[in-house]
Structure 1
């Protein structure tokens, strides 16, 4: 494939991409917990009542997955400051790939670079097939994809599929979280930690009216509106 072809396709598929700056916070030592990858449907749960906005997850993701400065696979969004019993409280929400069961990014990809892994349910990008056309960026209703500044291909969270998961470890963000605000596991296993957590709490998923069936769940915070 010539560079001119790639430039042409990238140009006609242009979409506005908003990226969020990475704030460098000190991160703890990553956990060595192990998991098994084989014929499961992975999902994640973010507990907004536990998240303190430290962004250790963002730093860990950058370090483990070699994400360049200026772009990020995961961000923690400030959802407002509130008064609770005379004390000021802040609330935060996670912004990252939803790993949809019905991912629109996969449907629009002209080369098959965007795909959903049949064994894990993880939505991923094959950089060798991606031409940087940005169709997937435009199609994603969660606005969590970006063009990698080095490879010039689409990139996003893949649950550390080719780094930590490949070594039998939890995703970097989950392992490093100091307040245990993140839970990761097999949604189809009723005995898994994430399945039990979802079943026992009030949770929400973003933009489910679109039929994307996202696998990123949230335990809502105490204040304000649920972020969309």
Structure 2
């Protein structure tokens, strides 16, 4: 990983392969989404390459299909924001971009009522409303593990997905920097491991101008798509949570910690009435 990070000239790994899609399919999709200007540009002969829509990713042969998710214990969350800080340090997110935040509900009617805290990452929905509204197929749900991602090289920054997300879990990168980056200190040359692309922050280059979101720290997966908590290859928020409130794992594995917790405790999912089927549960 260090070798990759130091090779500043190396091209980033592609997030996925581009399928063959006809110009007519693209125009019809854009018209359905109300992206009339883009459709008109294509109809007048604009390049199709940057607007290629993405078909559903095929699960590689022999790979076990996983469904990664989180179970968050509201009784244990103390509102310390350690998860927020850990996430920003791990992914090197700029000001205004936080892949997880902590919500706080104030005291109740009684003075001894305990305030309620809950961390809120991207929910990596089974039916993510952010995906179908993207006119260029830049955001999609990975079939092998259920993680919803953004292809920075395809995202055009239209922010349709931000509007579509009912959980406000997406952020636009406006190019702001922290002082340590602006002053060209050694920290500025440290690349972000996000998506294993090891990009250093440069003005006018992706992910500036793109939409960004939680990835469940998928760059910590091994070649088989697995995490390893014992070796530290675990989402930063769950690894750092001081109250042990954030639990992460494969919801398709009945023996995983998250699956066992859902059997033992009462849990809810936010805005279930929308049919998004989020893969983040809250224990009551």
TM-score norm. by structure 2 comes to 0.61
Number of residue pairs aligned between Structure 1 and Structure 2: 185
> Whole-Å Cα distance in 2 between the matches of residues 58 and 215 of structure 1?
19
> Whole-Å Cα distance in 2 between the matches of residues 160 and 200 of structure 1?
27
2:172 to 141, 147, 161: 147
Structure 2: unaligned runs, 5 residues or longer:
1-34, 39-62, 176-207
Aligned partner of 2:215 in structure 1 is 158
Aligned partner of 1:217 in structure 2 is 281
Question: In the alignment, does 2:129 pair up with 1:73?
Answer: no
Aligned partner of 1:95 in structure 2 is 120
Task: Report deviation, 1:93.
Answer: 1.8
Contact 1:165 1:171 in 2 (8 A): no
Contact 1:48 1:218 in 2 (8 A): yes
Structure 1: unaligned runs, 5 residues or longer:
1-8, 13-36, 221-228
Question: In the alignment, does 2:127 pair up with 1:110?
Answer: no
Greater share of residues in strand: 1
> Whole-Å Cα distance in 2 between the matches of residues 137 and 158 of structure 1?
15
TM-score norm. by structure 1 comes to 0.76
Give the superposed CA RMSD: 2.1
User: Which fold has the larger relative contact order, with Cα–Cα distance below 8 Å and residues 6 or more apart in sequence?
Assistant: 1
Match of 1:99, SS state, is coil
Aligned partner of 2:254 in structure 1 is 190
Runs of 4+ more than 6 Å apart: none
Aligned partner of 2:153 in structure 1 is 128
